[in-house]
Amino acid sequence: MVKKGIIEALLCALLCAPCAVCGQNSVTLARLYEMAEEQSVSMVAFRKAVESAEKGVDIAKSQWMPDVSGELSVGYLGNGLLGDRNFSDWMHVDNPHFMNNFALKAQQVIYSGGAISASIDLADMGKRMAELDYAKNRQEIRFVIASCYLDLCRLQNRQQVIDRNISLTERVIDNIKSKYSHGAALKTDITRYELQLERLKLQQTRIDAARRVTSTRLAIMLHQPESTLFEADFASLRNENTMLEKQRWNELSEGNIGLRQAGLAAEISGKKLELEKSSRRPKIAAVAELHFDGPITIEVPVINKNFGYWFAGVGISYNFSSLYKSNRRISKARTDLVQSRLQYDAAREGIDNAVQATYADYLTAYKDLETQRKSVALADENYAVVQNRYDNGLALLTDMLDASDSKLSADLDAVDAEINIIYNFFKLKYICNSL
């Protein structure tokens, strides 16, 4: 039985943009995928997140570019006081009052202790994580659509079964009425089969209502008119079902996005550890400065002239406090790395279990379909035998009703069994993120 509730609330929030609809309502699953791709606000948001992460990489790389800054100031320079070191013999010093300062500074990082390289790598990993988030969101949307589509296929197939049984029941009623007119059947026989017909029509109504609900759900998701009644193409789904060995599914599960994200998270933790360690290394940069100041205040009395000078060289800086401040941060980064690796192992184990369980359900669904097809053949054979005996007065009407119920139940179970095979196939593809 196709499960209806998987991520349903998510999809209603994800897909919200108008789109033109084809005139015909028959639609393939691939076409629904395309419509979701075009209209999903959620997918647009994730694509924007990828673009933002790409810009983050450019920002991180810009740290290797030189830093250039300029300073300009003008102001009023007040008069001064000059005295001995024992704060005696003070004298007044007249200063020129207009002052100006200009500085142009440039710095190019030569060695950052690995901090810049680590930050660039982290930004690149952030972009890869954003791309995986987008791909995961895309797979989730497709799986929800596939689940709804399979529900639609199941309901359509059930409707065909009910329609065939209604036609069969109407023919039986006509036959019984003919017998009744010749005194070979009772009025109650007609009544019983008419009750059977009403039950079938009630099932037909319920299936039609459920089908409309499912179609409306898809229509709302894809922003089509709510009155749209989608016609699923079940034959195309049969062609998609490809029987693969369990080992092959295990290999394909390596592409699971959650697993890849867990592996990437471990890489990010390792890179953050490198970044923390870089704080213990010196920083080396090429520096150059140009100054143009006035008046010259390093002389007393002050020289009322402008003084310009420049210099260039290599600067080395080292944060000695990192020797005792960075210990806790490095220790935390190591713990985070161990944790992320364990989370990857847990994700791997969970995916292996999911593949194992779903593949077992997949094989069981094949066995179930084989059994149900045999049940259909036996139910059809039993119905033909009982009908023949009833026509020859060798069976009761209750036997006919029991045969009809068995035939209907077998037909409906066969429909569900075939859908279950395809559902488990899609679930395996979803686990491997290859929808």
pLDDT digits (tens, 9 = 90+) for 296-312: 888 888 889 999 999 99
| pLDDT of res. 25 | 58
Tokens of 246: 């369990």
In this predicted structure, the answer to whether residue 371 has a pLDDT above a threshold of 80 is: yes
| Over residues 241-246, mean pLDDT | 77
Tell me the C-alpha distance between 414 and 369, whole Å: 6
Architecture of domain 25-75+95-431: Up-down Bundle (1.20)
Place of tokens 């036997």: 399
Mean pLDDT of the chain: 87
Please state which of the ranges 167-181, 229-243, 406-420 shows the lowest mean pLDDT: 229-243
pLDDT digits (tens, 9 = 90+) for 57-68: 999 999 999 999
| pLDDT of res. 245 | 81
